[in-house]
Amino acid sequence: MDTANARRISQLAVLMTAGLPALAGMLIFRAQPILVAAIQGEPGKLGALTDLFYNHAGASLLALLVAGCALAAASFLQLRKDDDAERLATQLALLCGSALLSVAYAALFVMAAALPLYARLTAS
């Protein structure tokens, strides 16, 4: 692979590293009213995970934003390196970390939305 192609791949990795947490945050921000509608009454019986997304949605989204920005900044700083193999390997690791962060955050939100509904369905 020549240097120009490696540079383009590095730039794409920076874009994806920044974009994945932003996309997860945007989806969860838009889906948060669904969680609020699902939890009608009895907010004192919420579990800790549901409480995090119900009462502290802004703070959890801000934490996702800060973590995503840190990963994107680290990936952007890798663009200065001259060694293509080292730069691409580091950026791939950062991109995987960004994807893992985004998927884990989205999975926690799905669990937070599902737990109150599951408790309501199983309560006899």
Integer-rounded Cα radius of gyration of the chain: 19
Q: Residue 124: what pLDDT?
A: 62
Q: Residue 40: what pLDDT?
A: 67
Q: Residue 43: what pLDDT?
A: 59
Q: Residue 119: what pLDDT?
A: 74
Is the dihedral angle over the CA atoms 107, 108, 112, 113 positive or is it negative? negative
- The total domain count for the chain is 1
- List, for the chain, all residue ranges whose pLDDT scores fall below the cut of 70: 38-46, 124
The predicted model scores a pTM of 0.80
Q: Residue 4: what pLDDT?
A: 85
Expressed as residue numbers, the domain containing 72 is 3-122
Q: Residue 90: what pLDDT?
A: 92
